[in-house]
Amino acid sequence: MLALKEHHSEQFSHSEQLHSFIQEVLKEAQLEMSALAAVAVSKGPGSYTGLRIGVAAAKGICFALDLPLIAVNSLQILSEKFQDNNQALLFPMFDARRMEVYVMILNEKKEVVKPTFAEVLTTESFNEFPTNVQWIFMGEGAQKCKEVFDASHIDYRSDIQHPSAAEMIPLAWRAFQDKKFEDVAYFEPFYLKDFYTTAKKIGG
């Protein structure tokens, strides 16, 4: 990693700052865009608007410079922050609506046990997985689980909240070596669920 610029805030606007961030990291790394060999982007799941803007920016660079596009699952990136070889099940998760989370299950080797899915949390959630190994709950969605689960086999990692481009590097590099590239023209973010908004109430 030559340069990194990240900002986690409710006030952060991808549309206003993403392109300036890209310019700043290129300057810090002392690189021109022409030196790039590929572009990697977090494909989701996640914020609809954030994913759409991020993927559009990545595709724009790829189109302009005729570069391959690499897409990496956002939850898998988050799981890379966990570094422990002891047997465990990893539950990286993002907050969805109400008591719902986006989650995937991996083992301690970061091998996918169950691909990304949406889960409305109840006491029956994840009961198909063994409890004789440690469960590692991580990501901003894990906070919701505290309202539902209180068990000795669950370790809440409050220090692992957001995916980072730093942890994307090994995943993107493997994809680059294996030539696992996306179709730049047709690639769409992995929203997992359809986008919808709540209409404002009028009157009262």
Distance from C-alpha of 189 to C-alpha of 33, rounded to nearest angstrom: 23
Q: Residue 203 has what pLDDT?
A: 46
Q: Are 1-74+164-204 and 82-157 equal in CATH topology? A: yes
Long-range CB pairs of 117-125 (<8 Å, 24+ gap) are 117/192, 118/192, 118/193, 121/145, 121/147, 121/148, 122/148, 123/148, 123/149
Domain limits, the chain = 1-74+164-204, 82-157
DSSP category for residue 149: -
Strand partners of residue 155:
136
Is the per-residue pLDDT at 76 higher than 90?
yes
pLDDT of 11 reads 61
pTM over 0.85: yes
Q: Please identify, in words, the CATH class of the domain defined by 82-157.
A: alpha beta
**What are the CA-CA distances from residue 139 to residues 8, 75, 95 (Å)?**
13, 9, 8
The DSSP bridge partners found for residue 154 are 135
Q: Which residue has the higher pLDDT, 204 or 18?
A: 18
pLDDT at site 197: 42
Q: What pLDDT, on a 0 to 100 scale, did the predictor assign at position 13?
A: 61
Letter for the amino acid at 204? G
Q: What is the pLDDT of residues 7-59, one digit of tens each?
A: 877 665 666 688 899 999 999 999 999 999 999 999 999 888 889 999 999 99
CATH topology of domain 1-74+164-204: Nucleotidyltransferase; domain 5 (3.30.420)
Residue 82 has pLDDT above 80, yes or no: yes
Q: How far is CA 94 from CA 42, 74, 89, 182, in A?
A: 14, 9, 16, 24
Whether residue 175 has pLDDT greater than 80? yes
What pLDDT score was predicted for residue 198?
A: 44
- In the numeric block, which tokens belong to residue 117? 């899915």
